[in-house]
Chains A and B, each alone.
Chain A
Amino acid sequence: MKELQMPEGALSDLTILELGEMVSVPFCTKLMADMGAEVIKIETPLTGDSARQAGPFPDDIPHQEKSGLFLYLNANKLGITLDISKVEGQELLHHLIAKADVIVYSLQPEDAERLHLNYDYLKELNEGIVVCSITPFGLAGPYRSFKATYLTVNHISGAASTIGRPEREPITMPEGWEGYLTGVTAAGAILCALHARDMDGKGQDLDMAEADVMATVLMGARANMAYLAGEPTPRTGHRMPVMGTNVTMPCKDGYIALVANEDDQFQRLVEVMGNPEWGKEEIFSTRPSRAACADALEDLMLPWLMEHTKEEIFSSCQAGRVPTAPMYTPEEIANHPHLVERGFFPEIEHPVAGKWRYPGAPCLFSESPWALRRPAPTLGEHNSEVYCDRLGLSLKDFLGLRDQGII
C-alpha cells in the first residue's frame, strides 16, 4: 500500500524495531511512527500481537485484521512476522538491529539473553543501538518476574487505594491506561537516549516499568505528600473534598465534573446557579468549610443540576469562569464539534477492516506535523519488502524460511 506523501516528520531519520503486544510497547512506538519514524513491528507468525484478538470488532465478529485496539495502536507501522525463538529468526533480527536506531520489547533479562537480544550482546552488533524494555515490574527488583494485569499494576502502584468509594473495594484507572502512560513516558526516554547517542555514538539500555510509572507519574506527588503528612491519600468516592468543590455530580442528561475550588470560583458558581439563598451561607465561604460540609452542599446543588443538561451547565459555567466540564462518554467525544474541527479523528482505509476513524494527534506540530500515513499492517504484510528488498534474501530462501515457520 503506497504511503501518502506528507511533509517530513520530526522523527523520519529513525528506524525502530518493535516486539510488542497489547498497549505499552505498541503505543510507545506508535507515538514515534506518528511523527515519521519507520517502525517495523515484528509479530509471531500465524497469530501475531495478542491485541489482534482483543477487539473491539465491527459487529463483534472476531477477526485478526479487524481488532479496533490493534488497528489504532499499530497504524503507521510496517509489519513483519518472525519466530525469534529460532536461531534463524534471531539471525534475521540481528541483521535488522545492525541497521536500526532503537529496539523496543518486553523481555526479562534471562529471556533476552536466551534470545540473544540483551543489550550487552546487541551493542556489539550496533554500538549506537538504544534498547528499551517495557515490562510490568521492570528488569530488576523483587517483583520483576511477577505476573501482572492492569488490575494488579493499579493496586501495587498506590493508584487503586485512592479510587472508588471509601466503604467499598478500591477500583482502578481505565483498563490499559497504565500502558498508555508507560508508553509515552518510555517514548520520551528513548528520544533522550538518542540525543545522547547523537553526541558520542553510544547507545544504552532503558528499563521502563508500568508499576514504576503508575507509582510515580500518576501517584508520585501524592506519595510525597503522604510521607509528610504521615497519612495515606484517602479514597473519597465521587469527590475530592480537600480541593473544595471538586465533585462528580449527576445532571439532567448525564454527569458533570463540578469544579469550583477557589473561593471566587465558588461565588461565581453560585451566581451561575441563579444566586440561591444558600449561596450566601457563611459555611460555604471558604474552601475548608465547603470541604467539611460537602454532603450538605451537594444536596443543595443537586436540584439545579438536575434541571440542566451537561452542555447547558458547561456553557454557563464557562461563561461565568467556573472550571466545570461534562463527563463525556466515548460517544460524545467521537462526535464533539470542537474535536472534529481540530481534526482529532482522522480516517484511513485498511485493506481488510475497511475505512475507520481513529483517535488522532496528542499534540499538533507546526513544521513537522503528526500524520496518519498508512493503516495498521496486516499480519506479515511487509515480509517480502523487508526480508527480500532490504535484507537481500532470495525468493527461494524467503519461501524456505516461511515454510519452516521462521517467518
Chain B
Amino acid sequence: MNQYPLRGIRVIDFSWVWAGPLGARQLGDMGAEVIKVESHRRIDLARRHPTRIKGRPLKNEIDHDSEVLINFENYNRNKLSVTLDLGNEEARLIAKRLVGLADVVVENFPPRVMKKWGLSYDEFCKVNPSIIMISLSAAGQWGPLRDIMTYGPSLGGLAGVETLVGYEDDMPLGSHRDATDPMAAVFAGFAVMAALRYKNRTGKGQHIDMSQWEAGATTIGYPLMDWIMNKRNPKLMGTKHPWAAPHGCYRCLGDDKWVSISVIGEEEWLGLCRAVGDPEWARDERFKDAASRKMNEEELDHLIEGWTSELASYDAMLRLQEQGVPSAATLNTLEIPKDPHFISRHLWTTILPNSKLEVDDAIMENPYWKLSRTPGAPYRPAPTLGRDQNYVLGELLGMSQDEIAELNKKGVLL
C-alpha cells in the first residue's frame, strides 16, 4: 500500500468554483484520478477572479493556457483538465464516454441544466450502471425552491448559520466567510466515500443529492433544537457566555491585537488569577464566584484588559495556558501559516515547482484527511485550461490525433 489509497479510482469533475472542486480535491489528494471537464465558454471563476499579489498591479487578463491563480491551484491540484463545450451534442457524447470509464461524477450545475443536456444520473447509468454521482446545489435536486441561485452569504443565510453571528447590541452581521462552501466540500468527500464503500460491497452506484442548505443546517444543532423544543430563537451574544465570566477577547499590545479567554469553572478562574499575578482585585467580593463574576462582568473585563493590554497576544496566551486557562491569541490569516504550532502540523505546503502561478513563492493547503500511513499529497500542479486533452481523449478514449484535430475544428473542444 503506497501513500495514495484512492489510486485506481477515477472521478469526472464537472463542478466549478469552490464546493464541488474542493470536494473532488479530497479524492485527488488521496490518489484518485480526477478529470476536470471545463469549457472555454464557461471558465471557472477560480481561474478568473484575480487575487492581489504584493508589489504587483491587480491582473485583469489571465492567459488560461499558461497561468493559474492561487485559489484554482489550491482547489484543483493533482487534477487533469479537458475542455468540452457541453452545449454541443458531440461534446456531451464524449462526456458520457468518460463517465463510462469512471467511478464517480461530481457536479454542481443548476438541477435543470444537467437534465437539459441529457447528462442526468439516469442517462449516465445507461453508460455506467454502477456510477456514483454527487450533485451539489443550493437547495437540492427537487423541491419548491430547487432552482434558486445563491452565493456563500445567501446560502449561509438560508442555512441559519449567519443569523447566529453578531454582537449583543447590534444586528446580525453574518460571518461573511462563505462557510457553507468549504463545509459542503467536506460533506461531499464523506458522502462519496460512503457511496464507494456501498458500491464495493454491493456493486451498486447511486445518485447523491446534496442540498448545501440542508448540509449547512445540520451544523446548527443546538439553536434548531431550542426552537423545536422551546419555540425560542437565540439572542446574539458576541463572545459572551450565557452564565460564565470572564469570557471574550481582550486587547493586547499593538493594533487590532487580541487574546481570547474562556473561564468557565473555578479552577480556570484561579488559574487566571495566578497568571495575572494574584492582583488585589482578584480577591474582590464582586468576583468571588461564577454568578458574581457574571454580574460584574464589565468591570472584570476592564481589569483583565488592564493586564492584557501590556502584553503581546502570544505572551498573554502562553501565560494563561501555563495556568490551565483556555485562551488563544487572535491570529490573522497572515499569521496562521507562520504560527509554530500550525507549522508543526504541516497544514500548508509550498506550491509545486512546476505550477503555473505567476509567482514562485506561494502556499497552498495539504490534504485535509490526516492519515498516518496513507497520507496522500499534492503531487501535480493544477492544470491550465484543457492541458490534458491529449491524455484524456487520446489515451483514455483512444482517439487519434486526426480525430482530436477534427473535433477542435468543429468547436466541440471549446
Contact = CB atoms under 8 A, between A and B. Distances in A.
A228 B328 contact: no
A208 B370 contact: yes
A96 B393 CA distance: 50
Nearest to A247: B153
A248 interface: yes
B150 A188 contact: no
Interface stretch (B36-44, B195-203, B276-284, B290-298): B195-203
Interface in A139-158: 140-144, 146-149, 151-158
Consensus secondary structure, chain A interface: mixed
B371 A359 contact: no
B161 interface: yes
Interface in B246-299: 247-249, 251, 256, 258-262, 264, 268
Given A147-B321, A229-B51, A323-B154, A171 B238 contact: yes
A339 B154 contact: no
B391 to A, nearest CB: 25
B197 to A, nearest CB: 6
B157 A228 contact: no
Contacts of A329: 160, 163, 227, 233
B194 A165 contact: no
Contacts of B100: none
Given A163-B177, A333-B160, A366-B207, A148 B227 contact: no
Given A219-B336, A223-B363, A228 B53 contact: yes
Interface string A173-191: 1111100110011011101
Contacts of B171: 238, 248, 250, 255
Interface stretch (A54-62, A85-93, A297-305): A54-62
B262 A151 contact: yes
Interface string A327-347: 111111110011101101100
Contacts of A184: 183, 186-187, 190
Given A181-B183, A342-B140, A365-B195, A222 B225 contact: no
Nearest to A256: B157
A321 to B, nearest CB: 6
A196 B344 contact: no
Nearest to B263: A149
A160 to B, nearest CB: 6
Interface residues on B, range: 35 or more
Contact of B370 (A173, A189, A232): A189
Contacts, number: 497
A373 interface: no
Contacts of B201: 13
A11 B334 CA distance: 40
B165 interface: yes
Contacts of B348: 216, 220, 223-224
Interface in B131-188: 134, 139-140, 142-145, 147-151, 153-167, 170-177, 179, 182-183, 185-188
A362 B328 contact: no
Interface stretch (A198-206, A269-277, A381-389, A396-404): A198-206
Instruction: Output the residue of A58, A170, A363 with the most chain B CB within 10 A.
Output: A363
Contacts of B183: 180-181, 184, 217-218
B248 A321 contact: no
9 contacts: A58-B229, A68-B229, A171-B166, A177-B161, A217-B186, A220-B347, A248-B172, A359-B221, A363-B214
Interface of B: 1, 5-6, 18, 26, 30, 51-55, 70-71, 74-75, 121, 134, 139-140, 142-145, 147-151, 153-167, 170-177, 179, 182-183, 185-191, 193-198, 200-202, 204-211, 213-215, 217-234, 238-239, 247-249, 251, 256, 258-262, 264, 268, 321, 324-337, 339-342, 344-345, 347-348, 359, 362-366, 368-374
